Amino acid sequence: MAVSIAILDDHQIVIDGLKLLLSDHPQFNIVAEYNKGFDLLEALEKLSVDIVLTDIMMPDMDGYEVALRIKKEFPHVKVLALSMNGEGMLIDKMIEEADVAGYLLKTTDKKELVTALESVSKGDTYFAKEILEELHSFQKIKKENEAIHLTSREIDIIKCIAEDLSNKQIADKLFISERTVETHRKNIFRKTNMHSAISLIDFAKKRKLI
């Protein structure tokens, strides 16, 4: 029995290209194509779909939100992400929170696309080598960040420091007092063992905090 696939991408030319790539593989049956996540989710109420092949970066509703909705409302449908975005934080969210079955970059070739679809259709997972490398790198940095114990508020302040905002400007932006900002700054420099704004910004960039 053919595997039914729905394709979601805000660029029609990408959808047309995927259909062409899979046209000589009868084991895959493309039953629907959509440019908007809302339309896809509405269609899944009626359509019988095994795999949703989706882009990540889209207007209105991105692939992350679509995958979350599918996980919650259509758990029998597998999601295979195909995107230009190979950022570690996004990959981590797509896997840990949205539970995607696979992730490929749009630079992949036909052979790997078919392999990924076959793996996912069998109930396995498939993540491109580049995706796994980026994920491992991100998770290593994530563990290092967690070991430093920076709070979300402290990370917000680091971002403000990177924007070269004064304590008063930071206080106004975050709706806190200047004294609170000063306390956070002292804690940030103590935790990171940095001694200047420049070194702190470099530290934050390397650990992808900003």
Q: Domains of the chain, with CATH numbers?
A: 3-132 (3.40.50.2300), 145-206 (1.10.10.10)
Cα–Cα distance, 209 to 190 (Å, whole number): 17
Q: What is the arithmetic mean of pLDDT over 104-132?
A: 95
Percentage of the residues of the chain whose pLDDT score is greater than 70: 100
Residue 79, beta-bridge partner list: 52
- Choice between 43 and 209, residue whose per-residue pLDDT is larger: 43
Residue 112 pLDDT grade (very low, low, confident, very high; cuts 50, 70, 90):
very high
Q: Largest alpha-carbon pair distance within the chain?
A: 67
**Could you tell me which of 84, 77, 98, 101 has the C-alpha nearest to residue 5?**
77
Cα–Cα distance, 205 to 210 (Å, whole number): 6
78: phi then psi, degrees, rounded to nearest 5: -90, 145
Residue 198 pLDDT grade (very low, low, confident, very high; cuts 50, 70, 90):
very high
Q: Per the structure block, which two tokens stand in for 141?
A: 């940095």
Percentage of the residues of the chain whose pLDDT score is greater than 90: 78
Q: Per the structure block, which two tokens stand in for 123?
A: 């109930």
pTM of the model: 0.74
Residue 139 pLDDT grade (very low, low, confident, very high; cuts 50, 70, 90):
confident
Residue 46 pLDDT grade (very low, low, confident, very high; cuts 50, 70, 90):
very high
Give burial (CB, 10 Å; 0-12/13-18/19+) of 54.
buried
pLDDT (0 to 100) of residue 64: 94
Residue 78 has pLDDT above 90, yes or no: yes
Residue pLDDT, tens place only, 91-103: 999 999 999 999 9
Residue 16 has pLDDT above 80, yes or no: yes
pLDDT (0 to 100) of residue 12: 96
**Could you tell me which of 93, 8, 77 has the C-alpha nearest to residue 45?**
77
Give burial (CB, 10 Å; 0-12/13-18/19+) of 184.
buried
Residue 89 pLDDT grade (very low, low, confident, very high; cuts 50, 70, 90):
confident
Cα–Cα distance, 91 to 112 (Å, whole number): 18
Q: What is the arithmetic mean of pLDDT over 18-35?
A: 95
Cα–Cα distance, 112 to 75 (Å, whole number): 25
Residue 143 has pLDDT above 90, yes or no: no
Q: Per the structure block, which two tokens stand in for 200?
A: 């702190």
The end-to-end CA distance of the chain, in Å, is 48
178-192 and 167-174 helices, crossing angle to 10° = 110
Q: Per the structure block, which two tokens stand in for 198?
A: 């420049």
Residue 85 pLDDT grade (very low, low, confident, very high; cuts 50, 70, 90):
confident
pLDDT (0 to 100) of residue 209: 83
Residue 25 has pLDDT above 80, yes or no: yes
**Could you tell me which of 51, 24, 46 has the C-alpha nearest to residue 124?**
51
Residue 149 pLDDT grade (very low, low, confident, very high; cuts 50, 70, 90):
confident
Cα–Cα distance, 82 to 63 (Å, whole number): 10
